[in-house]
Chain A
Amino acid sequence: MASDKITTFTDGNFDTDVLQAATPVLVDFWAEWCGPCRALAPTMDALAGDYDGRVLIGKLNVDENPGITVKYMVRGIPTVMLFKGGEVVDQIVGVADKAEFQKVLDKHL
Chain B
Amino acid sequence: MATLTKAVTIIGSGPAGLTAGLYSARANLNPLVIEGLEAGGQLMLTTAVDNFPGFADGIMGPDLMAAMRAQAERFGAEIIRGNVTAVDLSSRPFVITTGDDRIETQTLIVATGATAKLLGLPSERALMGHGVSTCATCDGFFFRDKPIAVIGGGDSALEEAIFLTRFASHVTLVHRRDTLRASKIMQDKAMANPKITFEWDTEVVEVLDPSRGAVNGVVLRNLKTEARKTLAVDGVFVAIGHTPNTGLFSGQLETDAGGYLLTHDGSRTSVEGVFACGDVQDHVYRQAITAAGSGCMAALDAERYLESIHPPPTTSSPS
Chain A interface (Cβ within 8 Å of chain B)?
31, 33-37, 39, 42, 62-63, 69, 73-77, 79, 91, 93-99
Contacts and interface: CB of A to CB of B under 8 A. Distances in A.
Contacts of A74: 129-130, 142
B138 A75 contact: no
A36 B45 contact: yes
Given A75-B131, A79-B129, A95-B37, 5 more contacts: A33-B137, A35-B45, A73-B130, A76-B128, A97-B82
Counting chain B CB atoms within 10 Å of each CB, the highest count among A35, A36, A95, A97 belongs to A35
B37 A39 contact: yes
A97 B85 CA distance: 10
B38 A95 contact: yes
The bracket for how many chain B residues form the interface is: 20 to 34
A75 B45 contact: no
Contacts of B139: 75-77
B38 A76 contact: no
Given A34-B138, A35-B45, A36-B45, A75 B130 contact: yes
A77 B81 contact: no
Interface of A is mostly: loop
Given A91-B129, A94-B129, A97-B99, A35 B215 contact: no
Given A36-B38, A39-B38, A95-B37, A31 B129 contact: no
Contacts of B131: 73, 75-76
B235 interface: yes
A35 B62 contact: yes
21 contacts: A35-B138, A36-B38, A36-B44, A36-B135, A63-B141, A73-B214, A75-B133, A75-B142, A75-B214, A75-B235, A76-B128, A76-B130, A76-B133, A76-B138, A76-B139, A76-B142, A77-B138, A93-B129, A94-B129, A95-B38, A97-B83
B33 to A, nearest CB: 15
A91 B129 CA distance: 10
B260 interface: no
Given A35-B45, A97-B99, A75 B37 contact: no
A69 B143 CA distance: 13
A47 B226 CA distance: 50
B96 interface: no
Contacts of B128: 76, 93-94
